[in-house]
């Protein structure tokens, strides 16, 4: 099991990466649509990863250990 502190650090790293990706996505206007779609897919995957990590963290505090 991953300690909650590690999950929080992972979440912060993912949020930082997400913000950087959003900034880069804004600078991609001169690039192809295909590349932008690839970035959107990456952002969706990152958001899902963040949500999954947050859910695991919450569930560890809500559910008693087995």
**Ranges of each domain in the chain:** 4-60
Matching residue, tokens 């990706």: 21
Q: pLDDT tens-digit profile of 5-60?
A: 555 666 677 777 877 777 777 666 556 667 778 888 998 998 888 888 888 888 88
pLDDT of residue 28: 60
- Residue ranges of the alpha helices (H) in 1-66? 4-26, 33-62
- CA 4/CA 20 separation, integer angstroms: 24
Contact 50/8 with Cβ under 8 angstroms? no
Of the CA atoms within 13 Å of residue 1, those in its CB half-sphere come to 10
Model's pTM, two decimal places?
Answer: 0.45
Looking at per-residue confidence, does 29 or 65 come out higher?
A: 65
């Amino acid at each position: 099991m991953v300690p909650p502190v590690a999950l929080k650090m992972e979440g912060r790293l993912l949020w930082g990466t997400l913000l950087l990706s959003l900034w880069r996505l804004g600078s991609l206007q001169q690039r192809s649509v295909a590349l932008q779609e690839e970035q959107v897919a990456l952002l969706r995957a990152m958001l899902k990863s963040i949500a999954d990590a947050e859910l695991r963290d919450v569930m560890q505090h809500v559910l008693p250990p087995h």
